[in-house]
């Protein structure tokens, strides 16, 4: 996938989402790619997300938060479904997955987190106060600008 394929949507020119593979990051002058090491597997009629192992977690931080990593994986997966046009809106996606539309919208907002915040969550080095409740913006919506997100979340 190149940035030229997404000229109509500047957000897609800057971020590409790959679900499987080893955790790594690639930066060019036009895009920053973060590979999220989550595997999507089917079990009966459900999709299971398998996060990375927690071997490298920093014990002084929040540590590997499996529910947050799984929810982050859902956010990027659902955002990709919307970007590819498989569903027109988050409400359509919620109906298709038989989920509550408000919750789906909260989760999809996580796909707009600053790359440094996403990296910290995947590595388990996010601050202790950073949890799903805060990240989904349930009490206070997070700003869209990455620098403002880091200030709001007191992310160093």
- pLDDT tens-digit readout, 22-74: 555 666 666 666 666 666 666 666 666 665 554 444 433 456 788 888 899 99
Q: What percentage of the chain has pLDDT greater than the value 90? A: 26
**How confident is residue 141, by pLDDT bands cut at 50, 70 and 90?**
confident
Crossing angle for the helix pair 66-83 and 90-97, to the nearest 10 degrees: 120
Q: Which of 12-16, 49-53, 133-137 has the highest mean pLDDT?
A: 133-137
**What span, in angstroms and rounded, lies between the C-alpha atoms of 133 and 53?**
23
Q: What share of the chain is helix, strand, coil (3-state, %, to 5)?
A: 45, 15, 45
Pull the structure tokens for residue 2.
């190149």
pLDDT at position 153 is 84
State residue 75's pLDDT score. Answer: 93
Annotated domain spans of the chain:
3-152
Strand duo 46-50 + 39-43: pairing: antiparallel
């Amino acid at each position: 996938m190149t940035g030229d394929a997404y000229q109509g949507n500047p957000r897609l020119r800057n971020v590409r989402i790959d679900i499987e593979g080893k955790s790594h990051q690639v930066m060019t002058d036009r895009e920053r790619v973060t590979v999220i090491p989550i595997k999507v597997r089917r079990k009966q009629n459900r999709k299971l997300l398998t996060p990375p192992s927690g071997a490298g977690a920093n014990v002084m931080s929040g540590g590997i938060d499996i529910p947050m990593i799984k929810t982050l994986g859902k956010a990027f997966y659902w955002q990709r479904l919307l970007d590819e046009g498989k569903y027109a809106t988050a409400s359509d996606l919620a109906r298709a997955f038989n989920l509550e539309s408000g919750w789906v919208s909260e989760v999809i907002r996580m796909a707009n987190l600053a790359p440094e915040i996403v990296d910290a969550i995947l590595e388990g080095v996010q601050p202790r106060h950073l949890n799903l409740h805060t990240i989904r913006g349930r009490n206070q919506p997070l700003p869209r600008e990455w620098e403002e997100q880091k200030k709001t979340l007191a992310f160093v």
